[in-house]
Chain A
Amino acid sequence: MSPVALLARLGRAVLQMLASTGRISIFAASSFSHMLRPPFYPREFLLALLQIGWLSLPVVGLTAVFTGGALALQIYSGGARFNAEAVVPQIVAIGMVRELGPVLAGLMIAARVTSSIAAEIATMKVTEQIDALVTLSTNPMKYLVAPRVLAALLTVPLLVAVGDIIGIFGGYVVATQNLGFNPAAYLKNTVDFLEWLDILSSLTKGAAFGTIAALMGCYYGMQSGRGAQGVGRATKSSVEAAAVLILAANFVLTGLFFSL
C-alpha cells in the first residue's frame, strides 16, 4: 500500500471516529433534554429502575465481595515483603471505594444492562416497534431512552455504594478469619482512613458510568441494522463502547478528583 493510500485510510478512520463522537454527543444531549421536558413515562422509569438497579444488585454484590476478599489477600502478601501487612484495612477501603467498586460495578452494568438495553431496542427497531411508537404519537427518545438513562444515572451510584460496602466486608471477612486481624480494629481503621472525597468520587463515578452504560445501550440499539446480525452487532458494539468509555471516564475522573 502506497503512503498516500495509507494516509487516506487513516484520514477516513479519523473522520469516521469524529462523526461517531458527534452523533453520540448529539444523542446524549437529546436524551438529557427529553428527560426534562414532558410528557414523562413513570411506568417505564420504574421498570428501568427495577431492571438496572435492583436486578443488578446480585451480580454487583458478588463481584465486590470476591474482589474485596482477593484484595485483602494480595495486600497482605505484598505488604509482607516490606513489613506492611497492617495496612490491609486502609488499602482495601481506598482500593474498593476509589477504584475497584465503581469500575467493576460499571463494567458489570455494561455487561448486564448495556447489552440488554441494546438488544431490546435493536429488536424493537428490527420488528418495526419503534416505527409503531412514532405512529402512535410517542417519541421513542422520551419513551425508551430518557427513562433508561435517568434510571441508570440515579441507581448506579447506589449500586456502587452497596458494592463498596460489600467489597470492604469481603476484605474484612478474609482479614479477620484468615489473616488474624482484630475485627474492631479493622473496622476502626477502615472508617478512620476513608475521607468524604473518596466517597464523593465513588458516587460520581457511579453516576457517570451508569449514564455511559445506558446511553451506549440505547444509542447502538437505535442505530441497529436489519435482522439478527444487526441486533448482534448492535449489542456487541454497545458493550465494547460502554466498557472503553467507562475506563476512559474513570481515568479522567480520577485525575479530576485526586491529581488536580
Chain B
Amino acid sequence: MIKLENVYKSFGDNHVLQGFDLEIAKGTSMVIIGGSGTGKSVSLKSVLGLITPDSGKIFVDGQDVTKADRDAFLARFGMLFQGAALFDSLPVWQNVAFRLLRGSLARPKDEAREIAIDKLRRVGLKADVADRFPAELSGGMQKRVGLARAIAAEPEIIFFDEPTTGLDPIMSGVINDLIREIVVEMGATAMTITHDMTSVRAIADNVAMLHGGKIRWTGPVAEMDASGDPYVEQFISGSAEGPIEAVR
C-alpha cells in the first residue's frame, strides 16, 4: 500500500501541495485527476524521491520512503514518463532492458535482449523496432517503448505520468487498454496522473481529485459521476463555469 500523509511542497511562493493525503491499496489502480499545475506530477515524484517534500510522510507497505534502501526501493517501481523519457543514445532494446543490463537486476546481454523483445511484443511492437533509436519512432511508439521499459523488470508498483498526452484518440485508446491489461495481468499497484477522462474510465479502479494542493474527493471510478462534489463535476464535464477558475 502507498500512503501519503499531510504532504506539503512549495516552490518559492508557489504552494503546490498543501496537506496532501492519499492511500492506494495494494493491487489497485488509482488515477489522480486535476487541472494543469495543481501538483499531480509533484505528488507522484515525491513518492519516488525525485522531489523531497517540505513536510509530511510517505509510506510504501508501511515503510517510510526516506528510510528505505534506495536501490531496493526503486527496484520495486516502474514508471512511464509523460514524454516517454527514452535515452536518445541507446537503441530501443537497451532502453527497455536498461535495468536488466546493470545493477542488482543485471542479466547476461542475450537474455536481457530476449526479455526486451518480449516486452516490446507485449506492448504491440515488432522485434525489428529493437535496434532502432528512439528518435526514429513516432510519439505513440515511443510511449509504448516507455511502457515496455516500465514493465521490463516486472515491478510491483507502476506509475504513469500523463500516459496519453500528445497522442491521437486511437493511440490513446491503445495505450489505455495496454495499461489496464498489464496492471491486471501483473497484479501491480498503479498510480496514474492524467486529465484525460477517457483514460480515467479505462484505467482506474479508484479516482482522486486534486485541487488547491489537497485531495478534494476520492472514491471508486463507478461513483465518480455521482460524486456530488462540484469540483469533480466541473472537471468531468469540462465546463468553464464552476468553482475551478478557468483562468489560472
Contacts and interface: CB of A to CB of B under 8 A. Distances in A.
Counting contact residues on chain B (CB < 8 A from A), the size range is: 20 to 34
A137 B81 contact: no
B45 interface: yes
Contact of A134 (B48, B103, B105): B48
Contacts of A132: 79, 81, 85-87
Counting contact residues on chain A (CB < 8 A from B), the size range is: 10 to 19
Nearest to A41: B102
Given A39-B102, A128-B81, A128-B85, A135 B75 contact: no
Contacts, number: 49
Contacts of A138: 98, 102-103
Contact of B77 (A39, A41, A129, A135): A135
A127 B89 CA distance: 14
Contacts of B103: 39, 137-138
B19 interface: no
Contacts of A124: 87
A127 B161 CA distance: 13
A129 B102 contact: no
Interface string B73-105: 011011101110111110000000011001111
A41 B102 CA distance: 9
B102 A134 contact: no
Contacts of B88: 129
Contacts of A41: 102
Interface of B: 45, 48-50, 70-71, 74-75, 77-79, 81-83, 85-89, 98-99, 102-105, 149
Interface of A: 39, 41, 47, 124, 127-129, 131-132, 134-138
